[in-house]
Chain A
Amino acid sequence: DVVMTQTPVSLSVAIGQPASISCKSSQSLVGTSGKTYLNWLLQRPGQSPKRLIYLVSKLDSGIPDRFSGSGSETDFTLKISRVEADDLGVYYCLQGTHFPQTFGGGTKLELK
């Protein structure tokens, strides 16, 4: 199975400051179609996960452009340009290129 390694495990950020989360896969996530199936999810406290970004960098509808995704092959990054209170929770990366789909271990974003 593809191992997804997220760092850091936790992140303490002040409101208005930037945040960055790394996700590394144990093998390339470029599929046979040429697409890279790497998603980012946010799980707010007490809620179910919600997809924020798909195909590395495409924002879901309603997701503010403070969020951005980048990367290729095995190295990916989620960035928040200015953290807001509503951004707190656990962020997961998810690869959908290889079966079985696998999740990163999660990064908990907290307020400083």
Chain B
Amino acid sequence: AVQLVESGGGLVQPKESLKISCAASGFTFSNAAMYWVRQAPGKGLEWVARIRTKPNNYATYYADSVKGRFTISRDDSKSMVYLQMDNLKTEDTAMYYCTAWLDYWGQGVMVTVSS
């Protein structure tokens, strides 16, 4: 079965950095476009970042709200995807979900940005 397990969330102060990770299994990871989607408390779903596969040169894309601050990456040898978050803002507080093709979703990891 497809499994996506996020880790690395926590409480950080504004302007600090945090890196969250996602371990994938149950499918051919190297063939999957991977995404990070977030959900602020009580709000809807917001696409954050996307990384394509090796044949697509691992192209990356970002929502305007995080462009220049967040970096998505992947390690196909480990079936892992990462989100490096720099210069965090209070409005980045959310549950962050790792998803494969936006079809399969992890359980999420909470990131809280507060002073």
Contact = CB atoms under 8 A, between A and B. Distances in A.
Interface of A: 39, 47-51, 54, 92, 94, 96, 99-106
B97 A49 contact: yes
A40 B105 CA distance: 13
Which one of A51, A92, A100 has the highest number of Cβ atoms from chain B below 10 Å of its Cβ?
A100
Contacts of A54: 103
Given A48-B97, A49-B97, A103 B44 contact: yes
Nearest to B99: A49
* Chain A, interface SS category: loop
B2 to A, nearest CB: 11
Contact of A51 (B35, B97, B103, B106): B103
A96 B102 contact: yes
- Of all A-B residue pairs in the complex, the 7 with the closest CB atoms, nearest first, are A103-B45, A48-B105, A106-B44, A49-B105, A48-B107, A51-B103, A48-B108
A100 B61 contact: yes
Contacts of A106: 44-45
Contacts of B105: 48-51
Interface string B25-44: 00000000001000000001
Contact of B102 (A47, A48, A94, A104): A94
B102 A92 contact: no
B63 interface: yes
Nearest to A50: B105
A92 B52 CA distance: 24
B58 interface: no
Contacts of B102: 39, 94, 96, 101
Contacts of A50: 105
